[in-house]
Amino acid sequence: MGRLLKRVSCTLGIAKILTVVSPVPTFVAEAKEQTVDIYGQVYEFDKKSEYEIDSSSATSTTDKASTLGSFSIDGDISKDYTKNGFTAYEIANDTVFSVSYKYSSKLKDADAMDWHLTEDSKKVVNGIALDDKIKNGAVILQTSLDGNKWSTATIVTDISSDVTFNQDNGINNIQLANGCYYRIIVAYETEKQLDNTSIWFIDTSDYDYKKCAEVYQFYASYKDTDTAPTGEKFYFYAGAKNSAYTVKTKKNNYAGSETIDNKDPHYGWDLGYFCLSDYTDKGDADDVYLKKVGNKVKLTFRLDQDINNLNGNSNLIIENDKDGSDEEFKVLKHNMKHGELIIRHTDSENNNTEVNYSDYLAALASPGADTSIQLFEEGDYEVHLNYAITDKDGIDSTTYYQTSFKFKIRNANCMVYIFDSKSGAELSNGDVTENGFRIDTARSSYPKLQVKKEILNKTQSGLVEDTRFNGAASDGETFTDEGIYTIKAYNRYDEKLEPAVKTIYVGRNNILTAYTKHLNTSEQYTIAQLNNMVDDGYTICKAKRLNVVDVTLSERTITPDVPAGWYVIEQLNIDGIVIWQSTSGEIFRLNPELCVNAKQRINENID
């Protein structure tokens, strides 16, 4: 029979556990993709039951019973440990694991006189209402953030093959960022023929019936699950008290805006608030938040209300919105359940993605707890929280609300990365390449780039700007013509910040090579000085021991008091004697090993 998949939500939820997962072998390893088998508990019920797991006791474990399948977790797992009686797994940051129930046809194919699978026409499992009949078995994924309440994420009914839950149908990064408990319930009915009798071709055999539930449980999280906001903070309130971000909508397409007056059930109180935290500073625009390397900008939500007793009124509840949609984000009608959070991210190339978290408010931990939603890198973000409130006083009436806001995350330290256009090697400030270079802003997607190119003037004594190349540049642009390039990356959103600057020489000219390499050092030479050295017969080349500039810099580490502009013309390699030439052309002999102060000892002029 066909398998019916019902996507219920991408939830966070959680619950009080009555049974625990049987232990599996402990391992500690580097995070790597692996599959770990998990054993669970088996419950048995009579034919009239509705799989009341929470009020029953397990009869055996899955490794010792005949089950409908086996269960495993797949992902980049760093280690396992125990948390509150659960086997727990640390998942590699920024990854999402999957869980699989491997279906076995053993029960389906069993002999009639043995326990074998039969169809169950019920639509309830442990108090969970299903949209379809259980038939040949149902697999239910539930999640929990605080260990006190479970939220149903996904339900699959009438199974006949393997069932997998992953980031597309029930497991998400919010769960792992906060740390989450998971429970998988597998429910099915079996029967066994006790005898073989019939009357006039009518089967009158006696049968025994038994309902079974397999329950698998574990905890999983990223290494860092600190949900408390830190550093700089900005708040976006969800509700009608601080109503800058919340509007009432006419329908559950959550579009438009209506006045929230004193007759409205949401008037005068907030549901909770979002907090954007750990950014470095705000940019020049109100919606821009700057981050530096090491900042973990994150958005958290604090629920301040009991969703079944809103504002202390037992008649006000968060409604189950079974056919909500989001007109602005073009999200079609589906079961939003008890509030849906939608986050849209647009990158620097205007590509956007959306993540939906259905049943969001029901899945949160108890009121007053901060729940981490997402860690943010550069980009533009839009956030919608859509929810419905029902007033049960008299005739039930439901109203719809949307909390929405936008923000932009940008790197405060706008760095630009330069790579050799042929070898791909990264080039640092002052480097030289014969091949040309490519600009890369992959790690900082929003800088304003400017490039200035300089070439030798007609007298070969200095530099002059090549105006054909001066101006704005873009990510990925390549420059191969000879010249000295100065690349500047400005932060578009904070004019107070100094630009990042890099100088690269493209070409083979030894004079320009020496000039560029020492441009940002304590010993800088003008092109005219370097030309004079060459005219005097000195060598500027790639070999450091023959290059007058490199030799001069080396000797200055021994005698730092030598006047600026002087350069080495010869190392005698006798008693450490070095011959220097001043900017006026005078020649001096210096023994660095004997002098205490070079300025006092440089008095032996060599005619």
Say if residue 227's pLDDT is above 60. Answer: yes
What would the 3-class secondary structure string for 437-483 be? EEEECCCCCCEEEEEEEEEECCCCCCEEECCCCCEEECCCCEECCCE
Say if residue 123's pLDDT is above 50. Answer: yes
Say if residue 7's pLDDT is above 60. Answer: no
- Give the per-residue pLDDT at 433: 93
pLDDT tens per residue, range 377-403: 888 999 999 999 999 998 889 999 999
* Strand locations in 358-396 (E): 370-375, 379-391
- The larger pLDDT score, comparing residue 69 to residue 513, is at 69
Cα–Cα distance measured from residue 170 to residue 356, given in angstroms and rounded to the nearest whole number? 11
What separation, in Å, do the N-terminal and C-terminal C-alpha atoms of the chain show?
106
In the chain, the amino acid numbered 266 is H
C-beta separation of 406 from 392 below 8 A: no
Cα–Cα distance measured from residue 179 to residue 154, given in angstroms and rounded to the nearest whole number? 19
- Give the per-residue pLDDT at 142: 93
pLDDT tens per residue, range 317-338: 999 999 999 999 999 999 998 9
Mutual orientation of helices 527-535 and 510-517 as an angle, nearest 10°? 130
- Give the per-residue pLDDT at 595: 54
Cα–Cα distance measured from residue 586 to residue 155, given in angstroms and rounded to the nearest whole number? 90
pLDDT tens per residue, range 253-297: 999 999 899 999 999 999 999 999 988 888 777 788 888 766 778
- The larger pLDDT score, comparing residue 42 to residue 176, is at 42
Q: How confident is the model at residue 5 (pLDDT cuts 50, 70, 90)?
A: very low
- CB within 8 Å of 168: residues ≥ 6 apart: none
Q: Helix, strand, or coil here: 380?
A: strand
C-beta separation of 210 from 191 below 8 A: yes
CA atoms within 13 A on the CB side of 423: 9
Tokens of 396: 């039930």
pLDDT tens per residue, range 431-485: 999 999 999 876 566 778 899 998 887 777 777 777 677 788 888 899 999 999 9
- Give the per-residue pLDDT at 356: 85
Q: Cα-atom radius of gyration of the chain, to the nearest Å? A: 36
Q: How confident is the model at residue 21 (pLDDT cuts 50, 70, 90)?
A: very low
- Give the per-residue pLDDT at 326: 97
Say if residue 315's pLDDT is above 90. Answer: yes
3-state helix, strand, coil in the chain (%, to 5): 10, 45, 50
Give me the mean pLDDT over the 196-203 stretch. 81
Cα–Cα distance measured from residue 129 to residue 155, given in angstroms and rounded to the nearest whole number? 10
